[in-house]
Structure 1
């Protein structure tokens, strides 16, 4: 077996300030309150920077700046707005290496994922929606769709810069202005994006970035001058937001949790399926709302597949996220690690069998080894609750009908994967799976042209593609 020498990416390309304010009306401003939080590197627990906590008054300042900027931005011809968005896309490409290192430092994901997956998709989303800015009347939403106004956007910590792109790019293309709140544990790439907006000469107030935790987000959602709320995060917080805006005129999109089924039939190419299973649940340490956290495998090939899967997991490398050889990085926070541990212990207590490869865990930081549970019943918490970590629950089935019943037996409905060589079976499954995205013989494939979103407790609304414009237009 090959031994890999360390291949660390240099931190020198990143300039992290000791302290950050709020980005309002094109300027860095100090918060009105005294609140400050620290953002840490989850791989080492090293403090990276101090971050301002925006108060309700700070959020109000940001919303007022966005409202003022809306008049000029929405009146600008789409072709002119597109120039700014194209410019942002090009600057992201130019600064991609810096942004990838910053993302891995603040989030804990392996550098090869932030470099090869996140950053290319971030730039691609801005390029894609820049192309829509002067074609909105041809998008199928009426001859003259209008922007909504001020969009309040709240993004999670698992894909900080990519979720920013998913939200800001279509909002700007449609003529809206934005107040965005990044997750409190991963604010650094959003704050770097504020500098990119200045570098692109984006008019002041078109994009505003306020940092803080749940109270800051709550103030943004409740603000009477916010016309649109976009949230990606937990189902619990999504429920609170839905209640908060109920009865108001605000337009809302929610992209929430998931408990996706990755379904492998006996005729599937098993080696290919193993790679898809690994990508489906261990990519980004399982911090993926559409992660394939439930493996449904046909009984006749279950033993063979599990043997191959365990063999493959034994080759994964856990460690320094900035090492280009690393497959599994750090868990994003101590709180998330505690949740993963609690649910894993519940799985053992309920009778499932736990397995992890021999895997040295670093002394400092937040780490959890890739883990498989077999002997899982539908009633087990690990089969029902979103773990949001590198933990796979394995169940078996005999017939396609049983696979559908088990796959749909969840309060979530975000994604699913089906592995089979039969096209007719694939289509039969896809038409019956209650999931917003169904992948065929692959998993976790994303493209800016393709819509993404869920059913049931996975939220409502779509992001990406032509469909992603609808959430930011008054139809």
Structure 2
């Protein structure tokens, strides 16, 4: 069992190897601002070694040619090892990301592992198909088979907000479909990437199938531009995603991007306002608002807007912001001092543009990176606080008079990741959902259970390609048609 909060080496070609940079990076607890661990600072030379290992494992190793049953068994063994380490991994997640224990158990670890297992189990399914037999000229009998084969070497680049979950959500489908992977975790949360190297070693994955390299932007750039890498799967900001796509274009790589969001919740006049406010509050304060799918624009019918704001204010005032180690804490810190200053700047911008602070939690006196939850109302729709992703516990409330205006306000965004509608009229909500330019819509909270088969697709600048479900698995494959005939 791996119990480390510090690593001296990177995981390359199935073993631990010292970084070529010979430099170390401190890992900081965002709840205290103090360092609690360290990792190597990866270098471009480390990327080159990791890509070479992944390339060799794909081109010469057994992984892509294993039977589906063998590969699935190996990945389920990986999942079992990680599950057995839960008690030591979850505290590391809390220290590194500042997440509450309940969120770690349910999402960071729980849903992440569930998505990995889903991919491992779906690897047993054959997605290949054969066309009906046909008789052609000269009485030739034949057909065609459509095969789905692994792409090759995948570079997976993940952000700081839900590190273990996102690492597993990429590794699962990439590995299940027979690819090899070089994982580059965020420099702010490297431990949740390196621990997966330790899991791979314990689970006896073949050398080079999974490689983990830490580092800054130069490491990511090297991974994206390396011609031996066949695909990049990136989750992060719109700006960085755009740069990734541009850099990958030089070698015509396949790219899957899951980017930012400024998701709208529409509250119609006939909605259960208390339920809507509870969902809105729970969303924009989840993990201190550090989530791309969170509902941060609340579009509320004018007739119920005051009631909605009062419900939000009550919940905001009751929020206990603090260290996740304290059982009374209900919202933790932001990831860094820089992120805290960015969020505070957006609040000032919203007020400067004419908005009002309708609700604000209590400030925290601490060396940690805390911002209390804030609700801005009556902010102009053109304000930066309305149009740009804040990635902090800040919600904006805009009023509307009819469904047409609500849809127009919801679609007035360059993002299109997620959205929600609260209404007592299911038919009206359904018709409205068809008009929203987003990859997902939840009506009255959506389903009550995690639907692992449901894909996630970012529209507009929220992404490119699909994650999760069968479509997410298919992103890690290339199709091949093989035509054949009966007899000679």
Q: TM-score, normalised by structure 2?
A: 0.91
Give how far 1:16 is off: 3.0
Q: Indicate the SS of the match to 1:119.
A: helix
2:101 aligned with 1:111: yes
Aligned-partner Cα distance in 2 for 1:88–1:146: 22
Unaligned runs of 5+ residues in structure 1 are 1-12
Aligned-partner Cα distance in 2 for 1:184–1:443: 34
Q: Indicate the SS of the match to 2:159.
A: coil
2:135 aligned with 1:145: no
**1:309-348 residue pairs with structure 2 within 5 A?**
309-348=312-351
User: Which position in structure 2 is the counterpart of 1:466?
Assistant: 470
Q: Indicate the SS of the match to 1:437.
A: coil
User: Which position in structure 2 is the counterpart of 1:132?
Assistant: 122
Aligned-partner Cα distance in 2 for 1:34–1:20: 9
Aligned-partner Cα distance in 2 for 1:260–1:365: 28
Unaligned runs of 5+ residues in structure 2 are 132-144, 480-488
User: Which position in structure 2 is the counterpart of 1:255?
Assistant: 258
User: Which position in structure 2 is the counterpart of 1:372?
Assistant: 375
User: Which position in structure 2 is the counterpart of 1:428?
Assistant: 431
* Residue of 23, 44, 50 corresponding to 1:56: 44
* Residue of 232, 236, 241 corresponding to 1:229: 232
Aligned-partner Cα distance in 1 for 2:80–2:103: 20
2:268 aligned with 1:278: no
Give the root-mean-square deviation of aligned CA atoms.
1.9
2:28 aligned with 1:24: no
Aligned-partner Cα distance in 1 for 2:345–2:220: 27
Aligned-partner Cα distance in 2 for 1:20–1:302: 54
Aligned-partner Cα distance in 1 for 2:202–2:327: 29
Does the Cα contact within 8 Å between 2:2 and 2:198 map onto a contact in 1? no
Q: 1:139 to 1:176 in 2, by over 3 A?
A: farther
Q: 1:111 to 1:443 in 2, by over 3 A?
A: farther
* Residue of 25, 46, 50 corresponding to 1:37: 25
**Can you list the C-alpha shifts for 1:68-124, whole angstroms capped at 9, x where unaligned?**
111310000011000011112222322223222211110111111111222111111
Q: 1:44 to 1:340 in 2, by over 3 A?
A: same
User: Which position in structure 1 is the counterpart of 2:303?
Assistant: 300
Give how far 1:249 is off: 3.2
Does the Cα contact within 8 Å between 1:174 and 1:472 map onto a contact in 2? yes
Give how far 1:380 is off: 1.0
User: Which position in structure 2 is the counterpart of 1:81?
Assistant: 71
Give how far 1:358 is off: 4.6
Select the structure of larger CA radius of gyration.
Answer: 2
User: Which position in structure 1 is the counterpart of 2:141?
Assistant: none
The farther-off stretch of 103-112 and 176-185 is 103-112
2:94 aligned with 1:101: no
Aligned-partner Cα distance in 1 for 2:210–2:7: 20
Q: 1:250 to 1:111 in 2, by over 3 A?
A: same
User: Which position in structure 2 is the counterpart of 1:3?
Assistant: none
